[in-house]
Structure 1
Amino acid sequence: MERESMAFDVIIVGAGPAGLSAACRLMQLAKESGKELSVCVIEKGAEVGSHIISGALFEPRPLNELFPDWQSREAPLYTRVQDDKVYWLSNQYNQFCIPSVLVPSPLQNDGNFIISLGELCRWLAQQAEALGVSIFPGFAAAELFFNDSGAVAGIMTTDMGRDKQGNEKPGFQPGILLEAKYTLIAEGSRGHLGKAVIDRFELDKDKAPQHYAIGFKELWEIPAEQHRAGLVVHTSGWPLSQTQTSGGGFMYHIGDNLVSVGLVIDLNYQHPYLSPFDEFQQMKHHPVFASVLNGGERISYGARAITKGGLHALPEQSFPGGLLIGCDAGTLNSAKIKGSHTAMKSGMLAAEAVFSELAVNHSHTSPDYSSLFEDSWLKEELFEARNFTSQVHRLGTLVGGAIATLEFNILKKSLFSFRDDKQDYQTLKMTNQTEPLLYPKPDGKLSFDRTSSVFLSTVKHDENQPCHLILQDKELPIKMHLDKYAEPSQRYCPAGVYEIVENNGQKRFQINAGNCIHCKTCDIKDPSQNIIWTPPEGGSGPNYRSM
C-alpha cells in the first residue's frame, strides 16, 4: 500500500507531560544554539489533554526549570496546597487521623499545587507550538518503523476508515509514515510501543518486573459550605483492608467548589472476585468522603493504569533511534504518589540527550541519556523511593508504611533493598480458594454503576472499526478463566468492556470495545496475558476535560 510520508528530526509519541516537556526543551536548545530543528508530537486523543487523567498533586520543580516565568505565562497552577491530612480508615464508619510525624515525608505536600493535568498539558502544548513544534492530535501510532540497521526510524499511524472485518470503508485513509532521526516514546503507562521496544531491545534485562495500579478519579462540584480550597486528604485501610489489598484513597479540594476524589488499587491484588470499580464506589460512603460529597454533583469519571515499580523496575530508557520516557518507562515516584513532575524531568533530560546527538549530525544512535539521568535530581529522588512499592507489596500497607516512615523521616536512608519479583498478573488466587465478594448496590447519590460512569467519560469510538482489544486465544476466557477465576476481566475493567453472555445455555465472551476508556488494565492483569491492548483509530476513546 502506498502511504504518505513525512520526515522530522524528532518524533514524539504522546502529548503528555513527558512528551511536551521534551518538545519544549528541544526547541529551547535549538534556539539557544541557532540550529534549525523540526519536532513533531502526535497524540492519539482527539485533542491534547483528552486522554490525560491524574489526581493531581503537582510539584513545580521541573516547571521552574523549563519555564522560570511560568506564572507570567499563566500556567494553570491556581490552587496551592493549604492543608494535608492522612487517615487510616479502620472500618466503614471510623477513621484515625495520622499525625504528620508518622506520615512518610514524601507524602507531605508543602509547596505543591492541586491541578488538572489535562489543563497543564494543554498549556504546555501552547508553549511548544509557540516555540515551533508541530502537534498533531487525533493520530495514533500503530507501530514502529525500523531502518535497515534495526534502529527505530519513526512510526506508522493507524489506518482510518476500516470496518470490523478490516475492509476499507468509503473515505478510507491509510496510515502515515512519520520518519525521524530520533523517536521519543511517551505514551503514558503501559504504552504498546513502549512494550515493543522493551521487548525488541531487552531494555528490562536484569530488572525487577514492572508493577502497576489502577487509579480511579471523579470530579465533583460540592456545596460551598463543604469546600476547603487547598485541602488534601489521603486515606488507607477500608475498604481495601477487607481483602488485604494495597492502595489508598484521595480527595483534593480545588477552586470553584470542585473536589477530585479517587482510589488507587495495586494490581497485584489476589482476590479473584475483587472489583476495583466497586471498591471505589463503596469507599465514597465512608464519612471522610460522604461528609464532603453529600449534596454534590458528579461531573466527570475516568480511570487509568499507573506504572509504579520504581527504580528497581525502570528499564534502560535509551535504544537505537530513540528514548522511552515518562510513565511509559516508569518514572513515577510511588512514595510521593506523583509522576507528573518526574515525567517532565525525564522528557527534559531526553531532549538534552537527543539534542547532543543532533548537534553533531548523528541519527538513529542510542542517545546518552543514562549519564544525564545519573547526575540528575530525578535519579536521586527515584533512588530514595526505590523500595517503597516492594515494601508495601511484601509487608502490607501498615508495616511497609511504618518502615517507609522510619527510613524517610528518621534514618534518611533505606535499611534494606526490597524487590518484588512476582508479576501482577501472577497473583490471583483461584475461586476455590476464596468466597465471592458482595458489593452494595449504588445509591445514585454517592455511588454509581459502570454505565452512568462511562457516560461521564464522554467516550467515543466508531463502532464499525476493527476491535482494538486482541485475544490471543478466543476460547480461553470460557475454557479456562471462567472456571478458575470467574473470568476476572468482568470486574477489573472499569468500563464494562468485558462480559460473559449466556444464550440458550451457551456462554460466550463478549467485548464491548466501544466502552473502552484506554486504561489498559486488561493488558496488565489478565492472568494468562491473553488480552493485548492496541490503539484504535486516532481520536477514539475518552474525552476528559479537567481531569
Structure 2
Amino acid sequence: MEREYMEYDVVIVGAGPAGLSAACRIKQLNEEISVCVVEKGSEVGAHILSGAVFEPTALNELFPDWKERGAPLNTEVTGDDIYMLRNGDSGIKIPNFFTPKTMHNEGNYIISLGNLCRWLSEQAEAMGVEIFPGFAAAEVVYHEDGSVKGIATGDMGIGLDGQQKDSYMPGMELHGKYTLFTEGCRGQLGKQLIAKFELDKGVEPQHYGIGIKEIWKVPAEQHQQGLVVHTAGWPLSESGSAGGTFLYHIEDNQVVVGLITDLSYSNPHVSPFDEFQRYKHHPVAKQYLEGGERLAYGARAIAKGGLQSQPKMTFPGGLLLGDNAGTLNFAKIKGSHTAMKSGMLGAEVVVKAIAEDRASQDLVEFADAYKASWAWKELHTQRNFGPAQHKWGNIIGSAYAFIDINIFNGSLPWTLSDPTPDHEGMQLASESKKIDYPKPDGKLSFDKPSSVFLSNTNHEEDQPCHLTLKDDSIPMDVNYVKWDEPAQRYCPAGVYEIVEQEDGSKKFQINGQNCVHCKTCDIKDPSQNITWVCPEGAGGPNYPNM
C-alpha cells in the first residue's frame, strides 16, 4: 500500500543536541527553509541521557545570548577531584597537575542534557521548525538513483503476531532535499547507511562504552554544588576491564552518579550494572550518597573510537552527524559540544546547497568544513587517548595521555591504532574468572527491576519484539556454551534471561518491555546475532531530567 507523504526541504532524524542545533542553525541562516524533526521518544528529551559536564563552546556560537534566553545551565563547575581507586576501600587522589588537561572543567557546567534539548526544541519551534515526538524513523526511503529521499515512520498498531490491530495506523514518509541522521550512538538507520554506502571503508572499527547513571537527592551537609568527581581503577580493574566513574553535584541537593564500562572487556562474567552498584559502596562515593534517595536510573551506549573510527559523514541526499558518526571526545568524556558543532556545520552546508538549487547530492564539501572546524582539531589533538587506554590500561594509558596532551598538545607524529572490534575480544567463560557480585542492600545498591522502574520505561506489550535475532539457535547453542550467554549480564535492564522450563531444559528469553534503548546488545553480542530496531514510537524510557 502506498504511504502518505509530506515534503520538507530538510528532514532531521533525532531531537538530540546535533539534530536540534542543525535545525536552529538552518533557520538562523534562512527562515524560509522548511525543516522537520522526528523523535522516537514520547517527548523531546525522553531518550536523552548523558553525564553531563557540558562545555558551552558550540552553544556560545549558536545562541550567544543563551543566558538571557534561559538556557538550563544552572550549575557551573567549582571543583575537580580525580581518584585512582585501588580496591573497595582505598584510593589515591590525583593532583590536578598530573591529570590530562582534558579532564579539567573550568568554565564548564553540570547539566541535564535532556533539559537542554527541551530548551533547544523550544528555540527551534519558535523559529518555525516542526518537531514530531513519538514517531520513530523506521526506514530510509531512497530515490530510484539510490540517493536518500527521506525516511518513513514506523507503522503503529501491529500485534505480536505481525497482524494489524484495530488501532493500526500506517507510517508516513517524510521527504526532504536533504536528510540529516542524528540518532545518537549506534543509530538504527545510521548503521544501515554506513553499510549501504560503505561509509566505514578504510577506517578502524567504532569502539563503545556503556554508561549507567543515577540521580540522587542527598542530605544538604553532604552536597557540594559544582563539585565534579571522577575515578578510575576499582571496581573494573578486578576483572581487567577499563572505564571509570563520574559523580557530579548539581542544584537542589542532587548528585549525578554513574559508571562507564569500556565494551572491549574480555571477561564474559562482567556485569557493568553490578560493577556500578558495588562502586557506590566505595568511601569516595558513599560519603556523598549515604542517607540519600535514588530518584532516577538509565543507561546508554557511547561511541568513543574518535577520529580513527569516524565513518565518512556524507552520502547522496544526506549527512550522518553527532554521535551517530562518533563525534564524542572520549578524552574529555564529553560529546554534546562536538555533536552540536557537527550539526551546525551540516546545517551551513545544506543551506548553501539548497540556495544553489542542489538536492539529493553528496555534500562532499562538508568534509572540508568539518576538518577546518575546532571540533575536528580538538578530536585530532586527543585522538590517541582511547587507543592508549585500550593498549596499556588506565594508569599507563593516562600517563601517556598526560605526555601526549599536556606536554606535546597532541602533536606527536603518530596515530595509535585500535583495530579489534569490541565484540571480538570475549574470552571463553571456562577460561575466565567468575565474579561474585554482592547482593544489593536496597540503600546504596539495587537490583535491575527496581532500577528499570525508575527509568519510566514502557512498551506496548502486544507488538513485535524490537530486539531481533538473526538465528534463534545461537543464544543457547553458541553463546551459552562458549560465554555463558553474556547478554544476561551486559544488558543493564534485565532484558535477556536464561530461564529453566518445566522439563528442566533452559531457554533464552527476551523481555523486550524492559529495554531502555541503550544499544549495548547490538554492540557487544559476541556472535553479532542481535539487531536492535525501533519499537513503536513513544516506547522506551521517559527520562525527566537525565
SS of the residue corresponding to residue 90 of structure 1 reads strand
Q: Which residue of 456, 464, 467 maps to 2:465?
A: 467
Alignment-derived partner of residue 212 in structure 1: 208
Contact 2:380 2:410 in 1 (8 A): no
Contact 2:49 2:298 in 1 (8 A): yes
Paired AA for residue 478 in structure 1 = M
- The one of 298, 301, 306 equivalent to 2:297 is 301
Equivalent pair of 2:345/2:370 in contact (CA under 8 Å)? yes
Which residue in 2 is equivalent to 1:408?
405
User: Does 2:134 align with 1:135?
Assistant: no
Counterparts of 1:176 and 1:460, CA distance in 2: 23
Report the Cα distance in structure 1 between the residues aligned to 2:469 and 2:494, rounded to whole angstroms: 17
The more displaced of 145-154 and 412-421 is: 412-421
Paired position in structure 1 for 2:11: 11
Q: Deviations over 1:292-328 (max 9, x none)?
A: 1000000000000000000000111011000000000
Q: Name the CA distance, whole Å, in 2 between partners of 1:371 and 1:192.
A: 26
- AA in 2 matched with 1:543: N
The answer for unaligned runs of 5 or more in structure 1 is none
User: Hey, what does 1:48 align to over in structure 2?
Assistant: 44
1:169 aligns with 2:168: no
Aligned residue identity for 1:380: K
SS of match in other structure, 1:249: strand
Opposite residue 396 of structure 1, the aligned amino acid is G
2:376 matched residue in structure 1:
379
The separation in 2 between residues aligned to 1:270 and 1:225, in whole angstroms, is 41
Q: CA deviation at 1:419?
A: 1.1
Residue 167 of structure 1 aligns with an amino acid whose one-letter code is Q
SS in 1 for 2:238: helix
Partner of 1:112: 108
The residue number in structure 2 matching 1:28 is 28
**1:435, distance to aligned residue in structure 2 (A):** 2.6
Question: SS at the partner of 2:68?
Answer: coil
Q: Identity over aligned residues, as a percent?
A: 58
Q: Which residue of the partner structure matches residue 396 of structure 2?
A: 399
Taking the aligned partners of 1:69 and 1:132, their CA distance within structure 2 comes to 19
The CA distance in 2 between the partners of 1:156 and 1:443, in whole Å, is: 46
Where do 5+ consecutive residues of structure 2 fail to align?
none
> Could you tell me which amino acid in structure 2 is paired with residue 391 of structure 1?
A
Q: Which residue of 1 aligns with 2:526?
A: 527
Task: Report the CA distance between 1:506 and its aligned residue.
Answer: 1.3
**TM-score, scaled relative to structure 2:** 0.99
User: Following TM superposition, by how much is the alpha carbon of 1:106 offset from its aligned partner in structure 2, in angstroms?
Assistant: 0.5
| Distance in 1, Cα, partners of 2:210 & 2:428 | 21
Please give the residue correspondences for 1:118-517 in structure 2 after superposition, counting only pairs within 5 Å.
118-367=114-363, 368-415=365-412, 416-503=414-501, 504-517=503-516
Q: What CA distance in whole angstroms lies between the structure 2 residues aligned with 1:357 and 1:410? A: 42
Aligned to 2:66, the other structure's residue is in SS state coil
Q: Name the SS of the counterpart of 1:460 in structure 2.
A: coil
TM normalised by structure 1 equals 0.99
- Once residues 261 and 410 of structure 2 are traced to their aligned partners in structure 1, the CA distance between those partners, rounded to angstroms, is 27
TM-superposition CA deviations, 1:152-185 (whole Å, max 9, x none): 0000100000000110000200010111110000
- The CA deviation at 1:136 is 0.1
Could you report, residue by residue, the CA deviation over 1:377-411 in whole angstroms, capped at 9, with x for unpaired residues?
01100101111111101111111110001111122
Distance 2:410 2:141 in 1: 44
Write the distance in 2 (CA, Å) between the matches of 1:515 and 1:537: 14
Distance 1:306 1:317 in 2: 18
Q: Distance in 1 between matches of 2:410 and 2:487?
A: 40
For 1:222 and 1:166, locate their aligned partners in 2 and report how far apart those are by CA, in whole Å. 47
Q: Does 1:90 align with 2:86?
A: yes
* 1:474-526: CA deviation from partner (whole Å, max 9, x where unpaired): 01111111110000000000000001111112111110000000000000000
Counterpart contact for 2:322–2:343, Cα < 8 Å: yes
Within 1, Cα distance between the matches of 2:184 and 2:320?
A: 10
How many pairs align?
A: 543
Moved more, 105-114 or 360-369: 360-369
CA deviation map 1:402-441 (0-9, x unaligned): 0001111122234432111000000110012113110000
* 1:54-105 C-alpha deviation (Å, 9 max, x unpaired): 0000000100100000000000000000001100111100111100111000
- Cα deviation, 1:187-227, whole Å, max 9, x if unaligned, reads 00000100111111111110011000000100000000000
1:225-244, CA deviations, whole angstroms, 9 ceiling, x for partnerless residues?
A: 00000000000010011012
Which 10-residue stretch deviates more, 408-417 or 139-148?
Answer: 408-417
Secondary structure, aligned partner of 2:359:
coil
Residue 95 of structure 2 is aligned to residue 99 of structure 1: yes
Query: Structure 2 CA distance, aligned partners of 1:431 and 1:224?
Result: 45
Q: Measure how far apart 1:2 and its partner are.
A: 3.1
Q: C-alpha distance in 1, partners of 2:475/2:87? A: 35
* C-alpha RMSD of matched pairs (Å): 0.7
Quote the Cα distance in structure 1 between the aligned partners of 2:519 and 2:174. 25
1:96-148: per-residue Cα shift (whole Å, max 9, x none)?
11001110001100000000000000000000000100000000011100001
Q: Report whether the alignment pairs 1:78 with 2:74.
A: yes
Matched letter for residue 387 of structure 1: N
Aligned residue type for 1:84: D
- For residues 507 and 87 of structure 1, the distance between their equivalents in structure 2, rounded to whole angstroms, comes to 43
Q: Distance in 1 between matches of 2:408 and 2:465?
A: 52
Tell me the alpha carbon deviations over residues 335-394 of structure 1, each in whole angstroms, 9 at most, x when there is no partner: 000000000001000001111110111110012211111111011001011111111011
Q: In structure 1, how many angstroms separate the alpha carbons of the residues matched to 2:476 and 2:243?
A: 30
